[in-house]
């Protein structure tokens, strides 16, 4: 346990850079921009005993401008990265609003004395009565001399409490491979102890071969429901089954696909795809029940009254989650609701997500329900918003069980320090996470291979991540063809596809062969998952057993008594 704890500790211990970060020294709020403490610019600040932590928060009222905000500055180091966070509770709503949005804004002064402003995060759904998390992260320019942080709500009439603020430096990963390898060993592997006994039939020439047949960590991809079932697309299918154990239908389970006009029922295609995949031992995620972004809501819903829409939503839960009950262990519930709020607006119900989670849970209590969003690790703007959304729905008792981090990267260089920081930030919610839609849009297959490798090492080494789903693999069927792992009519792996397979089916799989003697203890440190072990005599299989390696390790005694040259298969499920 101690070893695990030490291995997972961050490499740099964080130091708080704000003065009176918890607003408990109530005499410090009345400063001005020169004294280095809190200052209320274009607003009034007084202590409040309604606090998030400590003894007080600051109450911000009388905001004279939309940028009126409590603020503090600090001196950063150029080229270093910082994380910013605080808790906010709004005290009122502007007329016609069901919630408000808060932006965390930085004013960065360069060496020439000029300032530039950067918005580093937006938390969109602040409701009165609840503490919400705001903040973001930022990579300082080389010449940054001074940084001032502001917490802004566009409507000046909205008053708020702010508490538990923090600015910390984000640690730099100097060597990603060596930084992650210890954690990968601790988290993803365990011991297999094997002893061969009663070897009276074959006194010498024995070998034990350990073959990993499945992975506890989920590796999967989005697939096209038609291509994965249609016999014309055998190469597409072969690539999938050769690489992955999990699937998600890219589009066929979406509401707009299943019910493009009201009452139409397109369940046959997704059903065929789900059944085909499951019959081949693939586990399938459900994506998605509802989609909060208006662009992806079927047009027929936009004309419905609130009550007719709600009725259609009840039916949708039955037609999707209920219909596939027992077949889809994951469902994305209100997809991308950090970036949209179609159903909340149409129904005038800011808590519609909570209703969705509860209904979906009733329809299939064993499915794990997800929030699923983009720009959570690939950009700085949605990390804290996503964390806040999760914390909020959990606080309301919704059966949210997992966090889905999409992970769509564009062609820019990837900052792995920030990706790791953002994963850690979201992990504070306390739920396990899946990388649900990984792709990297890079036309250069070699730099793309390097980026996929580094991201996979980061994800595989993170204690909260349980699986990684690619958002497609073939350029003939990819929303961003340059992100593909395989190209052309023959679905030929490119450099990125080869690298990914080398990692997920090579470096991170256990396949070993050892000569053994009667009574000898053989120890193999294996990746967690399903296994077949074969005992061979002079190359012929004389015994086969199967087991699952999990958190408890495996002690296996293989008795050869009675085994001649006829193979025997035993199933042992351990840990
Ligand atoms: O099937 C029709 C085809 O018949 C028609 O000829 C063609 C002409 O445009 O359109 C085809 O449908 C397209 C469909 O993908 C299948 O390729 C839609 O227009 C197109 O809008 C749709 O885009 C999908 C998009 O979500 C919207 O649903 C992408 O394939 C899919 O990769 C993308 O996936 C999303 C996730 O669901 C959520 N997160 C972001 C991710 C990427 O945008």
pLDDT tens for the chain, residues 1 to 575 = 444 444 444 445 679 999 999 999 876 676 677 777 899 999 999 999 999 999 999 999 999 999 999 999 999 999 999 999 999 999 999 998 999 999 999 999 999 999 999 999 999 999 999 999 999 999 999 999 999 999 999 999 999 999 999 999 999 999 999 999 999 999 999 999 999 997 776 667 899 999 999 999 999 999 999 999 999 999 999 999 999 999 999 999 999 999 999 999 999 999 999 999 999 999 999 999 999 999 999 999 999 999 999 999 999 999 999 999 999 999 999 999 999 999 999 999 999 999 999 999 999 999 999 999 999 999 999 999 999 999 999 999 999 999 999 999 999 999 999 999 999 999 999 999 999 999 999 999 999 999 999 999 999 999 999 999 999 999 999 999 999 999 999 999 999 999 999 999 999 999 999 999 888 899 999 999 999 999 999 889 999 999 999 999 999 999 987 664 444 444 444 43
Instruction: Quote the pLDDT of residue 266.
Output: 98
Tens of pLDDT, residue by residue over 55-84, are 999 999 999 999 999 999 999 999 999 999
121, 134 in Cβ contact below 8 A?
Answer: yes
Q: How far is the CA of 566 from the centre of ligand 1 (A)?
A: 53
Question: d(Cα 371, Cα 563) in Å, to the nearest integer?
Answer: 52
Distance of CA 134 to the CA centre of its chain: 19
Measured by CA distance, the residue closest to atom 15 of ligand 1 is 251
Strand spans (E) along 62-159: 69-74, 81-90, 100-109, 115-126, 132-139, 146-153
**Pocket flag, ligand 1, residue 241 (CB < 6 Å):** no
Q: Left (φ > 0), alpha (ψ -120 to 50) or beta: where does 450 sit?
A: alpha
Predicted TM-score (pTM) above 0.85: yes
Catalytic residues: 336, 437
Ligand 1 midpoint to CA 513 (Å): 46
The CATH T-level fold of domain 2-169 is Jelly Rolls (2.60.120)
Tokens standing for residue 268? 């046959």
Q: Do residues 128 and 91 touch, judged by C-beta distance below 8 A?
A: yes
Report yes or no: 448 and 480 within 8 Å, Cβ to Cβ: no
Name the residue with the closest Cα to ligand 1, atom 11.
251
Ligand 1: which of 479, 480, 482, 483 to mutate, most ligand atoms within 8 Å of CB? 479
* pLDDT confidence of residue 169: 98
Contact residues for 123 (Cβ-Cβ < 8 A; gap 6+): 88, 101, 102, 132, 133, 134, 384, 385, 388
- Report the nearest-CA residue for atom 28 of ligand 1: 251
How much is the pLDDT for 3? 43
* 251 CB within 6 A, ligand 1: yes
CA–CA separation, 362 vs 386, rounded Å?
24
Would you list the domain boundaries of the chain?
2-169, 185-212+510-571, 218-507
Give me the residues paired with residue 286 across strands: 331
Atom 32 of ligand 1: nearest residue by CA position: 479
CATH number given to 218-507: 3.20.20.80
Which atom of ligand 1 sits closest to the CA of residue 471?
32
Only one residue has tokens 């889809």, namely 328
Residue range 185-212+510-571 forms a domain whose CATH class is mainly beta
Q: What is the pLDDT, as a whole number, of residue 373?
A: 98
What's the rounded Cα separation, in Å, for the pair 215 and 528? 6
Q: Select from 251, 266, 372 the residue to mutate for testing ligand 1; criterion: most ligand atoms less than 8 Å from CB.
A: 251
Res 431: pLDDT: 98
- 367 alpha carbon to ligand 1 midpoint, in Å? 25
Point out the ligand 1 atom lying closest to the alpha carbon of residue 256.
28
């Amino acid at each position: 346990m101690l070893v695990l704890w030490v291995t997972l500790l961050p490499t740099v211990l964080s130091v708080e850079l704000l003065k009176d970060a918890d607003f408990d020294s109530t005499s410090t709020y009345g400063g001005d921009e020169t004294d280095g403490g809190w200052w209320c610019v274009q607003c009034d600040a007084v202590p409040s005993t309604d606090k998030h932590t400590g003894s007080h928060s600051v109450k911000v009222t009388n905001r004279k401008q939309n940028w009126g905000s409590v603020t503090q500055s600090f001196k950063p180091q150029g080229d270093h990265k910082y994380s910013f966070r605080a808790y906010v509770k709004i005290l009122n709503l502007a007329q016609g609003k069901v919630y408000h949005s808060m932006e965390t804004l930085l004013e960065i002064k360069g060496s020439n004395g000029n300032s530039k402003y950067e918005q580093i995060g937006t938390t969109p759904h602040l409701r009165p009565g609840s503490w919400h998390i705001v903040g973001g992260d930022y990579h300082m320019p080389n010449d940054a001399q001074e940084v001032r942080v502001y917490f802004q709500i566009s409507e000046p009439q909205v008053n708020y409490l702010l508490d538990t603020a923090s600015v910390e430096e984000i640690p730099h990963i100097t060597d990603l491979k060596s930084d992650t390898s210890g954690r990968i060993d601790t988290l993803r592997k365990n011991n297999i102890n094997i002893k061969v006994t009663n070897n009276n039939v074959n006194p010498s020439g024995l070998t034990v071969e350990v073959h990993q047949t499945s992975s506890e960590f989920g590796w999967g991809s989005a697939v096209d429901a038609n291509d994965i079932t249609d016999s014309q697309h055998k190469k597409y299918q072969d690539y999938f089954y050769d690489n992955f154990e999990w699937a998600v239908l890219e589009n066929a389970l979406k509401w707009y696909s299943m019910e493009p006009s009201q009452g139409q029922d397109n369940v046959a295609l997704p059903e065929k795809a789900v059944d085909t995949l499951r019959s081949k031992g693939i586990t399938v995620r459900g994506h998605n029940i509802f989609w909060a972004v208006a662009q992806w809501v079927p047009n027929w819903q936009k004309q419905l009254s609130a009550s007719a829409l709600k009725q259609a939503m009840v039916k949708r839960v039955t037609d999707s989650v209920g219909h596939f009950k027992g077949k889809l262990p994951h469902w994305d519930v209100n997809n991308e609701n950090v970036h949209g709020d179609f159903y909340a607006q149409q129904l005038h119900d800011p808590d519609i997500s909570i209703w969705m989670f509860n209904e979906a849970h009733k329809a299939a209590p064993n499915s794990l329900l997800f929030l699923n969003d983009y720009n959570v690790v690939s950009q700085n703007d949605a990390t804290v918003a996503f964390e806040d959304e999760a914390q909020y729905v959990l606080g309301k008792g919704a059966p949210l069980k997992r966090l889905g981090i999409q992970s769509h990267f564009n062609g820019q260089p990837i900052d792995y320090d920030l990706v790791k920081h953002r994963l850690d930030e979201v992990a504070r919610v306390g739920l396990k996470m899946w990388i649900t839609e990984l792709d990297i849009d890079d036309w250069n297959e070699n730099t793309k291979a390097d980026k996929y490798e580094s991201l996979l090492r980061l994800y595989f080494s993170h204690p909260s991540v349980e699986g990684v789903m690619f958002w497609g693999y073939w350029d003939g069927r990819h929303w961003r063809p340059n992100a593909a792992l395989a190209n052309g009519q023959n679905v030929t792996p490119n450099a990125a596809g080869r690298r990914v397979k080398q990692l997920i089916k090579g470096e991170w799989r256990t396949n070993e062969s050892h000569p053994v003697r009667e009574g000898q203890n053989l120890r193999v440190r294996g990746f967690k998952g399903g296994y077949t072990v074969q005992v061979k005599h002079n190359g012929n299989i004389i015994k086969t057993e199967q087991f699952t390696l999990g958190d408890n390790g495996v002690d296996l005694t293989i008795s050869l008594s009675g085994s001649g040259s006829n193979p025997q298969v035993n199933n042992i499920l351990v840990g």
